[in-house]
Amino acid sequence: MRALTRTLVSVTTAVGIAAGTLGVAGTAAAAPAAQPAVSAAAAPRAVNNLGLSSAQAKKVQRDIKANWGYKGAIDGLLGTESWKGIQRPLKKYNGYKGKIDGIVGKETVKALQRLLKARYGYTGAIDGIAGSGTKAAFKRLADRI
């Protein structure tokens, strides 16, 4: 009798699993609640001020709005659209060879470092790493705009 009961419970469990529920077997497992999709408007923006204060970032945004096609808000947050505006002069004058995509990657930082070395006192390596020297020179750039 026990063997028959175990067999029936095992079969019932297998059928319940195949059907997507274990309620018949007495051990129901709740499915995780569906998460609402995040709309593009609600998605967080990637912001990278590279050490600039909000006031300094606004100065940069005003400059790229006046000269390099930035159409976004002057909000002191250097997001993707701000960085696209920064990448344009970096591409024209400072050896940036990547896409105008607004991503602050190694090539963007290298081109920025070349600009900062030529005009804003950056003395470090052109290595694509936005360390303290890069950030300090970027602040000098922002203060002189």
- pTM exceeds 0.75 for this model: no
pLDDT, position 33: 55
Cβ–Cβ under 8 Å, residues 119 and 138 = no
Residue-wise pLDDT for 73-115, tens only, equals 999 999 999 999 999 999 999 999 999 999 999 999 999 999 9
Helix (H, G, I), strand (E, B) or coil at 60: helix
The torsion defined by the Cα of 121, 76, 45 and 116, in degrees rounded to 10, comes to -10
Note the pLDDT of residue 35: 53
Q: How sure is the predictor about 45, in pLDDT bands with cuts at 50, 70 and 90?
A: low
